Amino acid sequence: MAEIKYIIYALGDQKYSMKLSKINGIEYIYNVVPVPMGADCIKGIIHLRNNIVPIYDLKGQFGIEETAEDANPQMLICETHGIKIGIEVDNVLGIIPIPEEDIKKVPNVVKNENTGYLENVVRVTLPETNKTEITLSVNVDKLMTDSDFDSVSDALEHSSEE
């Protein structure tokens, strides 16, 4: 029985997942610099290991309000379309191998032009609670529109020229 490793993370009260193969690292958020007039989906940028990394606002995308408990967010460092991005999450809950039979495609009734980033429904047993739950798996390659990528690419090019 084949397994695929997923990282499980929390946004507000909901748990989500992403294939571990899409993630280059996990970092704590620090000194996010807002980008005036930038793409709506980008919270700002950080300087990480000599790279300028845009921080994607997943909570904003999902319509989840920021709360006082969100004081210590983490970010998943991913690469998509040749750009390194950080995806801000409230808490990384773990990396869990998931049997293929516990990974299902998102039902068509859930899919529309606003949910194209949803990849799978993943049934996961969380180690800390030993409780089985389902999570929605996010495909980092489909989070941003082409115009968002163009906007981020342009901003990164201008920041590296200075």
Q: Give the per-residue pLDDT at 119.
A: 92
Please say if the pLDDT value at position 160 is more than 60.
no
pLDDT value of position 109: 84
pLDDT on residue 20: 95
Lowest mean pLDDT among 16-20, 106-110, 120-124, 139-143: 106-110
pLDDT, position 41: 79
The pLDDT of residue 100 is: 95
Mean pLDDT, range 29-33, rounded to an integer: 79
Written as six digits, the tokens of 71 are 């004081």
Of residues 138 and 111, more confidently modeled? 138
pLDDT at 26: 94
Residue 130 falls in which region: left (phi positive, over 0), alpha (psi -120 to 50) or beta = left
CATH number of 3-161: 2.40.50.180
pLDDT-derived band at 154 (thresholds 50, 70, 90) equals low
Q: Please write the tens of the pLDDT for every residue from 70-126.
A: 567 899 999 888 889 999 999 899 999 999 999 999 988 887 777 888 999 999 998
Q: What pLDDT shows up at residue 150?
A: 63
Domains of the chain: which residue ranges? 3-161
Express each pLDDT in 34-67 by its tens digit.
877 777 778 888 888 888 899 988 888 888 887 7
pLDDT of residue 115: 80
Kindly state the greatest CA–CA separation across the chain.
52
